[in-house]
Amino acid sequence: MKSVEDSDFEIPDSLESVLRGYQKTGYRWLKTLDKYGFGGILADDMGLGKTIQVIALILDEAQKNPDASFLVVCPASLVYNWENEIHHFAPSLQVITVTGTAPEREEQLENLEKGTVVVTSYDLLKRDIDLYEGITFRFQIIDEAQYIKNASTQSAKAVKKQ
């Protein structure tokens, strides 16, 4: 863990020239955590590109395991930002935003294809948690994790259940 910068985790080719040095280190740190079976918090300051580091992590895993699916849970105001960032930096990834009416969200999750990045909000995950039962995600990304700092809230329980 001490020599993350020197690790041999390769940056996805399409992002090699995009990521800054500290973002590559952050990506390698995330890969190291995953290698040892840990979760973690990427707590860089605002505006330093945490989203693209996570996209690099997802892209790398999707290239190695095309059947893996991923879940991004974020505030409702960021759902479409995540979708846009994924389309921009990793256009090869299939992404869906689980939004809309309850029947629309149910249909989206029932027809979920393997290898998809699912982006939803805390509120919708909380409402739809039963629809996620039986779906396995390789990574669960919790953006703005302060939304679940109180473990007794329904949002925190929904995230931990998934």
Which domains are present in the chain? 4-161 (3.40.50.10810)
Give the residues across from 141 on adjacent strands. Answer: 72
The C-alpha atoms of residue 117 and residue 158 are separated, in whole angstroms, by 18
DSSP state, residue 78: G
- Does position 3 have pLDDT exceeding 70, yes or no? no
Q: For 31-68, how does the pLDDT look when each residue is reduced to its tens digit (9 = 90+)? A: 999 999 998 888 888 889 999 999 999 999 999 999 99
E strand or H helix at 33, and its extent? Answer: helix 21-35
Q: What does pTM read for this prediction?
A: 0.90
Sequence-distant (≥ 6) Cβ neighbours of residue 128 within 8 angstroms? 98, 102, 105, 106, 109, 120
